[in-house]
């Protein structure tokens, strides 16, 4: 038994050493990368533009992933609520009380301001649809086609802009097709029931504001140069190795 435990501790120490060496090599790589990047940007004027565009791809992709996650998680079953910050809520309440007392010209008047959940009058009469795995799958499928249609609409709107000004029928057809696919996807997502989970901050106007965010990010990514995507692909390949 002692021998097996000793072997296990030996293997664990070897794994820890390998992980430590990996983290040290990763840290040295980042140091070298930033040093080379600063040196390149200082001595080559075009290097700064390339670096900004290269970082913009990662930022836009991260924002797009977060937006897609917001869309998908809003329609998933079993999502737990996150309690809000009570101290922040108390500060807002005190601020509103002071503002109200100043408007009433009564400094000592502490009007009672509380947070209340406002419900629609018809919401209590109508049964709330339940979020299930089936409705979640429909929402995920709608989000999938929404992202594809928005990306295609952004590409067509930017790359085929001159043809659109000329009035080419196939350009108008493509933009109309992608716009219709976007509208249908939004309609399908809007029909799916949502979970009742609450968070300290929730994105309003789901799924329309997230769809607008995805479209804007796609337009910004389409406007980047092709060489930027080539550099991004090279860095991704080197990062995997």
Residue 61: both structure tokens together: 């992709």
Rg of the chain's alpha carbons, rounded to an integer? Answer: 27
In tens, the pLDDT along 37-68 reads 555 555 554 555 666 677 788 888 889 999 99
User: For the chain, how far is it from start to end, CA to CA, in angstroms?
Assistant: 39
On average, the pLDDT of the chain sits at 76
CA-nearest of 198, 237, 230 to 79 is 198
Query: What is the value of pTM for the model shown?
Result: 0.66
How far is residue 102's CA from residue 108's CA, in Å, rounded to a whole number? 9
Instruction: Convert the pLDDT of each residue in 216-226 to its tens digit.
Output: 999 999 988 88
Inter-axis angle of helices 133-159 and 45-73, nearest 10: 150
Both tokens assigned to 217: 């990010």
189 contacts: CB under 8 Å, gap ≥ 6: 71, 75, 139, 142, 143, 146, 207
Per-state percent for the chain, helix, strand, coil, to nearest 5? 75, 0, 25
Residues 6+ apart with CB under 8 A from 60: 217, 220, 221
Q: How far apart are CA 31 and CA 58, in angstroms?
A: 19
């Amino acid at each position: 038994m002692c021998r097996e435990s000793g072997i296990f501790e030996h293997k664990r120490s070897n794994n820890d050493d390998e992980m430590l060496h990996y983290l040290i090599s990763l840290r040295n790589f980042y140091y070298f990368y930033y040093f080379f990047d600063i040196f390149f940007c200082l001595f080559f004027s075009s290097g700064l533009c390339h670096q900004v565009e290269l970082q913009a791809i990662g930022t836009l992709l991260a924002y797009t992933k977060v937006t897609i996650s917001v869309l998908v998680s809003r329609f998933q079953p079993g999502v737990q609520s996150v309690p809000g910050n009570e101290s922040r809520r108390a500060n807002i309440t005190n601020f509103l009380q002071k503002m109200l007392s100043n408007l009433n010209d009564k400094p000592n008047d502490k009007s009672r301001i509380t947070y209340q959940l406002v419900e629609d009058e018809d919401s209590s009469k109508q049964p709330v649809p339940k979020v299930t795995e089936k409705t979640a799958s429909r929402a995920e499928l709608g989000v999938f086609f929404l992202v594809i249609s928005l990306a295609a609409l952004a590409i067509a709107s930017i790359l085929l802009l001159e043809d659109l000004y000329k009035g080419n029928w196939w350009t108008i057809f493509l933009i109309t097709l992608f716009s219709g696919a976007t509208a249908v996807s939004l309609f399908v997502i809007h029909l799916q029931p949502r979970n009742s989970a609450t968070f300290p901050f929730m994105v309003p106007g789901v799924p329309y504001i997230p769809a607008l965010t995805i479209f804007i990010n796609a337009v910004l990514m389409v406007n980047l140069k092709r060489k930027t995507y080539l550099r991004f692909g090279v860095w991704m390949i080197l990062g995997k190795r």
